[in-house]
Amino acid sequence: MDIYQKLAILSDSAKYDVSCSSSGAESNFQKGMIGCNEKSGICHTFTEDGRCVSLLKVLFTNFCIYDCSYCINRQSNDIKRAAFSARELADLTLNFYKRNYIEGLFLSSGILESEDKTMELLIKAVEILRFEYRFNGYIHLKLIPGASQHLIEKACQLATRVSSNLELPSSKSLQLLAPDKTQKNLMQPLKYAKDFSLKNRNKPIPMTTQLIIGATPESDFDILKLSSNLYNKALLKRIYYSAYIPTNDDKNLPSVNTTPPTVREHRLYQADWLLRFYGFSYNEILDKRENLDLDFDPKMIWALEHLELFPVEVNHADKEFLIRIPGIGIRGAHKILKARRFQNLSFENLKKLGISLKRAKYFITIRGKYFGEKQFYPEYIKRALTKPKKKGFYQPSLFDTFIPAVTGEL
Amino acid sequence: MSVYLYDGSFEGFLTLIYQSYYQKKPALKIIKDKKEIGLLDEVIEITTDAKRAEKVHQSLKEKFETKNYNKIFHTFLCNEREFEKALYDFIVIGFKNQKNLANINHPSIHYLEKLEHEYFRYVHKMYGFVRFEELEDEMLYAKIESKFNILPFLGKHFSKRLDGCDFIIHDTKRELAYTNGIIHQVADFETPTLSENEAKFQKLWKLFFEKVSIKERKNPKLQQNWVPLLYRKYMTEFID
């Protein structure tokens, strides 16, 4: 099998792993080495489905001894299988990096023979890159659940970031769909990695995980509660949510014809942002409901359900509250804070600063004046927000009246 | 209030600042092309003077905070846009009081802030979208056609990443090229010969690009929001 076929198979099977960010890695320039991380992360291209490509995301192999129902690479699936050699993979990464196609490598794998064997293979490829090719760029390594502690520790030394996917939000679902995995078993490598990196570096190695959404019956509340706990324990830097795309026909899974719940995925990401950057807690976001609203974003819903706190005066509100106003984000809040040091802001001032007032105007007063709906009730505001855009003059057409007249549908 | 005409160079601009300050004639409008002169304008033509420019430069260095001082240079790299009057206001305000330069309610300050923001967003995008090709002597060569002059930043960025490799970034629109820390003028240029391996890795990259996209979630409009057609000219994966 040549390298083209291998790459085709192994990148095809890795694409469902959504994580592809390289952001947050400190700049680490070293003389004489190739590669340097960029704090803000860089997108090198965007795929047809509009996702950023930042890393060479491949599986080392798609052979697997496990049989998880949701996974395309499960043992019982009849698909083409391939495996890279460590050298091939290292060459590919280095050459892609030099041409500025990628920020680095994202390496995951199916389980070949045993967990330890697989982890060793991944480590070998990374060792060639780091020591032989003197590659200093970003490397994200998947920790293999069930691999021995010393191998996990070795992986942490070599990689910029590590991760282990929790896959499903509860142990019950896991038992049903992935009988070879348990939540404890999936968390284990993350714990090893945390302990090890705390011992050897001053801060923990950044870790991420991924949850599959929509394959099992958990509510958004359950999911956000889990996420929030993981963030609070400082175990994880980032959690990815992946709308379940049916790949296998299985009695325990949604039918192959279901469309992926992408809107729900989007809302979960928004809620996740609120947890991480906006100072919300999970039970604030979902205090009156089980699931996130699909029509409105979570911040908007929170504001609508807490109208007693609004409208708030933009010229006086503190930063913590400014960022909670729908339509005003972190950047907008900073602009307001900066500008109001010099003067009391008017509606015009805010517009000139480029603050979007389309949604914010229902929740704020500007110099004491309110610019939103007359009726300050959630229903009215919701209606105003979803009101269709006014169209221009309507040009009546001859046929508009003509056809119903003929068919007698007047 | 007067209309100033200068030659478009940085030194010319500094001379203009010098002259308008000492002659106490604040600029109403600043132009670099004679065609823009209006019928009733009282035009003051600036003859670029290196000594005067250096004097202004020195006092900018002394009086301006680093952040504000740098902003003047960044603005000058965006010379495709109209920026002279805003930059003039910025410098005048800055000489009076540095603190007032944070007042984004002032239209000129806000304009420059937005321009600088746009510039760096663009630079950041291009950090990702530049594509190198390997030449037969292992030199890496990239062509760009950019809306702003971003070579100084690209050069710095890639010399950190490709330490030990020789590389050229060629701005075909401005006929400039970055090599080894210096930006040169490039008058004419022969198409270089690619290395043996180049075709192989380009093919592999295109293959990878095609394979990572999820067909069930196809959304070309979203893709185009992120990578507008304008950027795609030299991007390997978009060239057939």
Q: Is the pLDDT of residue A252 over 60?
A: yes
The rounded percent of chain B whose pLDDT value lies above 70 is 100
Residues A125 and A223 grouped into a single domain: yes
Residues A250 and A334 grouped into a single domain: no
From the list A308, A303, A302, A314, the residue with the least C-alpha distance to A371 is A314
Q: Which residues of A372-382 are buried (b: 16+ CB within 10 A; e: fewer)?
A: bbeeeeeeebb
Q: Enumerate the residues of chain A whose CB falls inside 8 A of the CB of residue B218.
A: 48-49
With contact defined as beta carbons under 8 Å apart, do A224 and A268 qualify? yes
- Among candidate residues A231, A259, A277, the one where a domain is terminated: A277
Q: Is the pLDDT of residue A404 over 60?
A: no
**Region of A249 on the Ramachandran plot (φ > 0 left; ψ -120 to 50 alpha; else beta):** beta
Residues A360 and A266 grouped into a single domain: no
Q: What is the count of residue pairs from A and B with beta carbons less than 8 Å apart? A: 154
| pLDDT at position A389 | 59
B216 versus A145: the higher-pLDDT residue is: A145
For residues A39-64, give the mean pLDDT: 91
Contact across the interface for A338 and B219, Cβ inside 8 Å: no
| Mutual angle of helices B151-161 and B107-129, in 10-degree steps | 40
Residues A26 and A114 grouped into a single domain: yes
Output the domain CATH number for residue A93: 3.20.20.70
Residues A41 and A90 grouped into a single domain: yes
Q: Which of A7, A42, A49 sits opposite B218 (nearest CB)?
A: A49
Q: Cα angle vertex A367, ends A366, A368, to 5°?
A: 85
Give the tokens for residue A264.
């729900």
The answer to whether position A398 is within a domain reads no
Number of domains within chain A: 2
Residues A344 and A218 grouped into a single domain: no
Residues A164 and A228 grouped into a single domain: yes
Q: Is the pLDDT of residue A201 over 70?
A: no
Q: Is the pLDDT of residue A402 over 60?
A: no
Q: Is the pLDDT of residue A1 over 60?
A: yes
For residues B123-141, give the mean pLDDT: 93
Confidence band of B1 (pLDDT split at 50, 70, 90): low
Q: Which of A48, A98, A101 sits opposite B223 (nearest CB)?
A: A48
| Mutual angle of helices A3-12 and A86-98, in 10-degree steps | 80
**What phi and psi values does residue B56 have, to the nearest 5 degrees?**
-65, -40
Distance CA B13, CA B76 (A): 10
The full set of domain ranges for chain B reads 1-63, 64-129, 130-238
The answer to whether position A397 is within a domain reads no
Contact across the interface for A33 and B163, Cβ inside 8 Å: yes
Over residues B140-186, the pLDDT tens digits come to: 999 999 889 999 999 999 999 998 889 999 999 889 999 988 998 88
| pLDDT at position A181 | 81
Per DSSP, chain A holds a count of helices (H) and strands (E) of 15, 11
Residue-number span of the structural domain to which A121 is assigned: 3-277
- ipTM value: 0.90
Contact across the interface for A44 and B165, Cβ inside 8 Å: no
Q: Is the pLDDT of residue A5 over 80?
A: yes
pTM, rounded to two decimals: 0.85
For residues A258-271, give the mean pLDDT: 88
The answer to whether position A286 is within a domain reads no
The answer to whether position A29 is within a domain reads yes
Residues A332 and A260 grouped into a single domain: no
Residues A249 and A354 grouped into a single domain: no
Q: Which of B130, B212, B221 sits opposite A100 (nearest CB)?
A: B130
For residues A358-383, give the mean pLDDT: 86
Burial class of A12 by CB neighbour count within 10 A (0 to 12, 13 to 18, 19+) = buried
Over residues A12-34, the pLDDT tens digits come to: 888 877 777 777 777 788 888 88
Q: Is B201 at the interface with chain A, CB within 8 A?
A: yes
Q: What rounded mean pLDDT belongs to chain A?
A: 86
Sign of CA dihedral A322, A324, A326, A332: positive
Contact across the interface for A349 and B105, Cβ inside 8 Å: yes
Give the tokens for residue B27.
């600029």
